[in-house]
Copies of this chain bind each other. A is one copy, B any other.
Amino acid sequence: MIRDSRLSSVLHGLLHMIGAGEPVTSEQLAQAMATNPVVVRRVMAGLREQGLVHSEKGHGGGWTLARDPTDITLADIYRAVGEPTIVAIGHRSENPGCLVEQAVNDALGDTFREVEALFLKRLGGVTLEALAKDFKRRLAKHKQSLEDQIHAVK
């Protein structure tokens, strides 16, 4: 099953980067992603390799988006975060000669590819920009609700 917690974590970081108008340090991202700076660098390194983010050393350095958020989809991020294949059924001790697995792969190989394609296609339909917009909307709503509560207490 697909249960990516890294993708979720990375999205937190990226939304944070969109909000800030300047480079965000690994230290700051670590807070947004509820982890520590080294892990942030490790994960973000994958995104950098895919050209999604950019990193700068020294004073005023940190992480910035390398592309326009309208040009980055969740599929890009998912791939960059680095899942090998989405669907695969196999034995632990890779046994390519195993006749049972050959039969399974013959029966379901196309299915695996089909499911993976559908998944990535849908991820590809959601841009970082769209996600950010929706997030901001929720944030505003949330704020409003808190204010209402305060008002009610008065």
Contacts and interface: CB of A to CB of B under 8 A. Distances in A.
A96 to B, nearest CB: 13
A154 interface: no
Copies of this protein chain in the complex: 2
A146 interface: no
What's the interface size class on A, roughly? 35 or more
Contact of A99 (B1, B5, B9, B142): B142
Given A1-B84, A108-B74, A114-B122, A103 B91 contact: no
A107 interface: yes
Main secondary structure of the interface of A (DSSP, over half): helix
A99 B11 CA distance: 11
Contact of A139 (B34, B93, B99, B106): B99
A4 B3 CA distance: 13
A7 interface: yes
Contact of A122 (B74, B103, B108, B138): B108
A130 interface: yes
Interface in A35-54: none
Given A1-B2, A115-B115, A122-B111, A8 B103 contact: no
A107 B91 contact: no
Interface string A97-131: 00111111011100100110011001100100011
A151 interface: no
A11 to B, nearest CB: 6
- 3 smallest A-B Cβ distances: which pairs? A111-B122, A2-B87, A103-B134
